[in-house]
Every structure is written in C-alpha cells, then in structure tokens.
Amino acid sequence: MAITLQQYLDSLQGKRVAVIGIGVSNTPLIKTLLRAGIDVTACDKNPRDKFEGLAEELETMGAILHLGETYLDGLDQDIIFRSPGIRPDIPPFLAAIEKGSVLTSEMEVFFQVCPCKIIAVTGSDGKTTTTTLISEMLKNAGYTVHLGGNIGKPLLSEAGEMSPEDVAVLELSSFQLMTLQTSPDIAVFTNLSPNHLDIHKSMEEYAQAKENIFSHQTKSGIAIFNRDNALTNEMAGRAPGKVLKFSRQTTLAEGTYVENGKIVVAGNGQKRTLFATDRILIPGQHNVENYLAAIAAVQGMVPDDVILHTAETFPGVEHRIELVRTLNGVRYYNDSIASSPTRTIAGLHSFHQKVILIAGGYDKKIPFEVLGKEVQDHVKTLVLTGHTAEKIQKAVVESEGYQAGHPAILMEPDFKQAVLKASQAAEEGDVVILSPACASFDHFKNFAQRGQTFKAIVNEL
C-alpha cells in the first residue's frame, strides 16, 4: 500500500476537483471529498429536478453543481473523477488533460489506498455470481469482507476503516478497467465474448480493457482463467504472475476442474476431490463454472468444508435464474441479468426441457446469430419484445435447420403484454423465463428494474 485514504485526501487540499456523474458510485465520493474540505464541482447530465433533495444536500455541504446538457463544458479542474460509464477519451476530457487536469476514477484511487488484499473478478458473464460466491466463502470462513466495485457499494469512502487483515472483493466492468493502472492481488477472468460494443469501439478494445485486471500484476500475483473459453485461455500466456485455470471439460495440473461429476482442486503435483456438482444449490452448468472460478480464488484461505457449506446453502443472486413463483404447475424464472446472447444461452442450458423464453431489449450492437440454433434446440415458444425483437427473430428464422413454428415466435412490443402472452402459452410443467439477451435501457433504468417489473407482473398473475 502506497498511501492511506487520509494521505490522499490531504494531497488534494488546495486543489479543485470535478466529479462527473452524481450516481451510486460517485455520491459517497463527493461527500467524502466535501467533508475533507476540498473544493468540489459535481457534474451530471440530468437536470436538477431528477436529484430531489440530493442537490440541496450537496450544495449545503459546499459542492458547486453543474447540471444539464452542458455539464461537461469548461472542465479545467486539477483532478477529474469520471463515472465508469463515460469513455476516458471524449473531447471534454482530452481538452482538460491538455490543460493539465488529471483524469482518474473512484476505483483507481481505491486501488491506491486500499490497505488489504484485493480479489477482483471480471468477464462477460458470471462475474456477479462469482464475486458474490468468493465473498460468501470468505465471510463463512470468518474474514471481514468488503464487497464492492460494480456490485454492492463503492468502497473508496470506507477505505480508512479497513484493516490489513480484511479482504476487498470487487466485481470490475470493462469501463472500470479501461484506465486502471494497478491490478488486484488475485484476478479472476470468468470468460470473454462480445459485449458492450455500443460503447467500446471494437471487440479488441473491449478485450484490452478487461486484460487490465491482470496485466499490472507482479510475479506474486495470481490470475485465474477459464480454460474452456478460447479467448481467456489465450490471455493466460500474458499474465505476469502465477496462473491457475478452471475447466468443466479438461483435467488440469494447476487449478480446479470437474472429473466424474465432482469438483477437483489440483496443484503442486497433488489433487483432492471436494464434492459432487449436484451438491450446488443454484442450477446450471454455468454456475458450476462460477464455483470452479471462486474455489480457485480462495485456495489457502477457505477450508473445504466451508466451501461445501456455501455450495449447499447459497441461494443465488437476484435476477440470475431466480425462481419467482410456481403457478398452476408453471415455474417462472427471472434472469434479467442476461444482457448478452451467451448469458441467455447459459440460462437455456440450465433446464432439462424446452422453455418459454421472453427476450429482447436495448441494442448493444452485438450479434445474435449465435442465439438462433440454441433457441431452436431449447425453446418451445419465443416471446420477443423491445428494440431488438426483429433482430433476434431474424437470427432464429435464418439459423440452420429452422422450421416454421418451431419454436413458435410471438412479437409483442409492450413488456407487460409480452409476459402475459408467455403465461398464456404455458401449460402445467412448463418453465417461463425472462432471459433477454439484451440490455434494458430501451424501456428500463437497468436490468434490476426490468427484473423487478417482471416479478411484479408474475406475482399478479
């Protein structure tokens, strides 16, 4: 650890700071800076009335607010904290840097001041569940765990109360990783597939951003990769520290894998069997992969019996193949987190029957062709809604072997009506699952709001 949080705040005395985005991750940061007596301008694209009492609270604490469409005009502060969702190379930032401003983020500073071990997880799919599993295993083993990053809560403001014996467990998105110049002690890379191409300029840029989770490690760092994903397996060769892998398909000399239906840990020329995969409470082979990744991350920290206890009792994370209710013999699942085709495919593979699938949403400019054959094989009725409905329909009907009516495809632009149509198509013994393969921003604030709306509709049936 180079500096403490207090030392960092002391270094900002007499400087002007801008914080871009008054959202979940930056509001605690703004308040921490203001309490330290620092000159803060808080900037946000939303108009004042969107913030209700928060605007007045921040102004009372001493903040200058710059709100509305011109919120990025005139940036020239000494330090600029960007929101993760805003690219670091937009013209207002580049102009400010040209004048001498330093561009940073809440996460970048947290890495500078965190006094304890950091375990961080990234990937296109599975990172929230894997991050949560690592946190749960460590907590069950008696550690004080700080869960944050792209999940939980922002941690920078709490760094001063953390102890060196604690563990910070972070989920990191590509947007948080883009400008990160430090890597965690233990890095976990769940998988990689096309995603967020509405913001990233290319798949190459997206992958390069993700690589920052391990590329700045030293030889003492540990990086954990998915052996079954060609892209992450290839990346492993560039890791500076120790490499562990996990696999559902291949036995490994170093890492975690499945053999004869059981999870095995291998290393130092030895292997030990932990437990059968059917002891895991949450469904799906993708969740077996999440466990393999998490188990690799906590080796030497969490006893095997605690790992098994976690597997048998952890109910899963909300919006991730979450059983909402069973009505008239029909099971309804909320998989709103599935904002990419690969995530939806993993959800479809979690059931031993064809399902009624509700899909579609905001267009992130990622291809849907990979979804076509999978829908043929695993879906009996497809209900499409949102901006991408026609693109997904095209991917299915143009996929190899498609026969009209198999599956039946229903188009419904209204989300509630789409859920009702899925319910009407269901018979006793069926599974209805919301697994959109798309982001939610066409009709919802985020995937959580979409999932909560789905659950409300289902619970009213």
pLDDT digits (tens, 9 = 90+) for 255-308: 999 999 999 999 999 999 999 999 998 888 989 999 999 999 999 999 999 999
Higher pLDDT, 84 or 420: 420
- Number of other residues whose CB lies within 10 A of the CB of residue 408: 13
* Same domain, yes or no: 309 and 429: no
Please identify, among 283, 313, 343, the residue that sits at the C-terminal boundary of a domain. Answer: 313
User: Pseudo-torsion of CA 1, 100, 69, 154, nearest 10°?
Assistant: 0
**How many structural domains are present in the chain?**
3
* Same domain, yes or no: 95 and 160: no
Please, is 75 exposed, middle or buried when counting C-beta atoms within 10 Å of its C-beta (0-12, 13-18, 19+)?
Answer: buried
Answer for the pair 449, 440: CB distance below 8 angstroms, yes or no: yes
DSSP class of residue 33 equals: H
* Same domain, yes or no: 286 and 153: yes
Question: Which 3 state secondary structure label does DSSP give 362?
Answer: strand
Q: How far is CA 31 from CA 27, 57, 151, 336, in A?
A: 6, 10, 20, 32
| Segment 74-98 mean pLDDT | 94
* Same domain, yes or no: 139 and 250: yes
* Same domain, yes or no: 297 and 406: no
* Same domain, yes or no: 181 and 74: no
What CATH code is carried by the domain that includes residue 55? 3.40.50.720
Strand partners, 322: 334
* Same domain, yes or no: 143 and 244: yes
What CATH code is carried by the domain that includes residue 238? 3.40.1190.10
Answer for the pair 433, 355: CB distance below 8 angstroms, yes or no: yes
Confidence of residue 323 (pLDDT cuts 50, 70, 90): confident
Q: In this model, does residue 341 exceed pLDDT 60?
A: yes
Structure tokens at 411: 């188009």
Please identify, among 86, 104, 122, the residue that sits at the C-terminal boundary of a domain. Answer: 104
What CATH code is carried by the domain that includes residue 431? 3.90.190.20
Q: In this model, does residue 20 exceed pLDDT 80?
A: yes
Q: How far is CA 26 from CA 12, 21, 401, in A?
A: 17, 7, 50
* Same domain, yes or no: 116 and 171: yes
* Same domain, yes or no: 21 and 160: no
DSSP class of residue 82 equals: P
* Same domain, yes or no: 247 and 355: no
Please identify, among 273, 291, 313, the residue that sits at the C-terminal boundary of a domain. Answer: 313
| Segment 24-44 mean pLDDT | 95
Structure tokens at 246: 């996990």
Question: Which 3 state secondary structure label does DSSP give 259?
Answer: strand
Q: In this model, does residue 64 exceed pLDDT 90?
A: yes
SS3 content of the chain, % helix, strand, coil (to 5): 35, 25, 40
Q: What mean pLDDT is reported for the chain?
A: 94
* Same domain, yes or no: 214 and 88: no
Predicted confidence at residue 2, as pLDDT, reads: 75
Domain encompassing residue 50: 5-104
Confidence of residue 125 (pLDDT cuts 50, 70, 90): confident
Task: Please name which of 290, 312, 263, 280 lies closest in space to residue 134, comparing C-alpha atoms.
Answer: 290
Least confident interval from 202-206, 253-257, 378-382, 435-439: 202-206
Q: What is the pLDDT of residues 157-206, one digit of tens each?
A: 999 999 999 999 999 988 899 989 999 999 999 999 865 556 656 878 88
* Same domain, yes or no: 380 and 446: yes
Structure tokens at 351: 């059931």
Of all residues in the chain, the percent with pLDDT exceeding 70 is: 98
Structure tokens at 379: 């879906």
Q: In this model, does residue 43 exceed pLDDT 60?
A: yes
Q: In this model, does residue 1 exceed pLDDT 60?
A: no
